[in-house]
Amino acid sequence: MLSYRLLSVADSSSLYASFLEAFSDYQVDMRMSEQQFAQRIARDGVQLEISAGAFDDKRMIGFYMNGAGNWQGKQTAYDAGTGVIPDYRRRGVGKDLFEFMVPKLKERSVSQYLLEVLCANERAVALYRKLGFVEVRKLAVLRSNHALDALDDPEMRPIDQPDWKLFQSFWDGYPSWQNSIAAVERIPNERMIVGAHVDGECVGYGVLYTPAANLMQLAVSPAYRRKGIGSRILRALPAGEILKVNNVDNELKGTLAFFEANGFKVVLEQFEMSRSI
């Protein structure tokens, strides 16, 4: 008989093993070391005490990994990863686990649940809609098949203490949970931030999540766009890696055009979905 409970630090190794098995046939390669897994859940703000697992005897066969924080003015739980291992799918485990978990989140004053799901994963999208989720926006995942060639740079400086008020004045939209200001602040040792400076003034910046070469944020002051500064920031960040770009708001057409001009192509799309709880 299956059982459901909240997790603790003692479940960390079982969670990692279940994660690898649940995502072994996923459309995106999710293989990673246990250290990389720990870095990922730190970035996403995962709190095991509000995360939930499904168990067959002592074996974890399904999970919801949840982060928590303020999102768009609401106390929010974020689904940093949900999975059920292949042998236990189509038995209602995901639905039952979610229904077990929601009252536990309510007890912690969480008022909203946020997640991302591949648009092409029709079964999962249908399940979330059935559970009351609605689409907030569509997010694009972009990839390039080659490292970026070097360009002559404006003055590039590493940034240890980001000026978020200034940086936000460069934004046209807002980043996803995994790329948010809170996510950047959670990983001071796994991030690289560079700023482009003209006459001593910071006019653009980029943030790299170094363990996976993921671009978390990139923005340029509106007054300095179309001058090649964004492209130079891209090339200052990857340090020889092939850069990954996840979760660009599909409505930001200029941003998508910028990445495509720099050799990136949209390879996947995700729905960002939420529901009140």
Residue 103's pLDDT is 97
Query: What is the C-alpha to C-alpha distance for residues 140 and 246, in angstroms, rounded to an integer?
Result: 7
**If you compute the radius of gyration of the chain from its CA atoms, what whole number of angstroms results?**
20
Answering whether pTM is above 0.75, one says: yes
Residue 239's pLDDT is 62
Residue 67's pLDDT is 98
Residue 240's pLDDT is 65
What is the residue-averaged pLDDT of the chain?
95
Cβ atoms of residues 229 and 203 within 8 Å: yes
Q: Tokens 């106390």 belong to which residue? A: 75
User: Predicted confidence band at 153 (pLDDT cuts at 50, 70, 90)?
Assistant: low
The dihedral over CA atoms of 110, 116, 122, 123, expressed in degrees to the nearest 10, equals -40
- The dihedral of CA 158, 162, 167, 173: what is its sign? positive
Q: What is the DSSP letter of 251?
A: T
At position 185, the amino acid (one-letter code) is E
Query: What is the C-alpha to C-alpha distance for residues 194 and 181, in angstroms, rounded to an integer?
Result: 15
Residue 151 has pLDDT above 70, yes or no: no
Residue 86's pLDDT is 96
Q: Tokens 């708001």 belong to which residue? A: 249
- 9-21 average pLDDT score: 98
CA 188 to chain centre: 16
pLDDT digits (tens, 9 = 90+) for 223-262: 999 999 999 999 998 766 789 999 999 999 999 999 999 9
Q: Who contacts 126 (Cβ-Cβ below 8 Å, separation ≥6)?
A: none
Look up residue 71 and give its two tokens.
């999102």
The helix (run of H) or strand (run of E) holding residue 194 is strand 191-198
Residue 27's pLDDT is 86
Domains of the chain: 2-110 (3.40.630.30), 142-269 (3.40.630.30)
Helices 93-107 + 122-130 axis angle, to 10: 50
